[in-house]
């Protein structure tokens, strides 16, 4: 089965990010395909490379980056939600006159059209968070 995932909650504030990650990992281990993971609302906070959890805690951002690299998964942050929360790749930072970017490896910024496409292309769109 081909899944797309929508994550609408940030890491460490809600179980949605952990649950989405664990679901994605389990689905891949069972041979399912992940078309795309779209991060929306506070979910875009899963894509900042500046998150620095304590050493004895899980690093949710790094988990997503590693999973994307190992399985060639498309991790997309909603551009509007990311801008509102101060998350930018190099192009967005430059376009908005910012002096730095903070996008974690494996993530990219795009619009809601990517969420619509994810829902169309997948057999199931699974939502984690509000």
* Strand, coil or helix: 59: coil
41: left (phi over 0), alpha (psi -120 to 50) or beta: left
78 is catalytic: yes
Q: How far apart are CA 81 and CA 125, in angstroms?
A: 20
Query: Residue 45 gets which letter from DSSP?
Result: G
Distance between CA atoms of residues 56 and 66, nearest Å: 18
Catalytic residue among 37, 44, 78, 81: 78
- Which amino acids are annotated catalytic? 78
């Amino acid at each position: 089965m081909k899944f797309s995932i929508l994550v609408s909650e940030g890491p460490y504030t809600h179980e949605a990010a952990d649950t989405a990650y664990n679901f994605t990992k389990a689905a891949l281990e069972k041979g399912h395909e992940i078309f795309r993971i779209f991060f929306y609302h506070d979910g875009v906070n899963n894509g900042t490379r500046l998150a620095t959890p304590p050493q004895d805690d899980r690093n949710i951002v790094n988990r997503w980056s590693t999973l994307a690299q190992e399985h060639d998964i498309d991790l997309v942050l909603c551009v509007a939600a990311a801008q509102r929360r101060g998350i930018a790749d190099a192009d967005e930072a430059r376009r908005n006159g910012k002096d730095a970017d903070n996008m974690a490896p494996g993530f990219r910024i795009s619009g809601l059209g990517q969420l619509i496409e994810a829902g169309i292309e997948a057999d199931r769109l699974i939502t984690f968070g509000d």
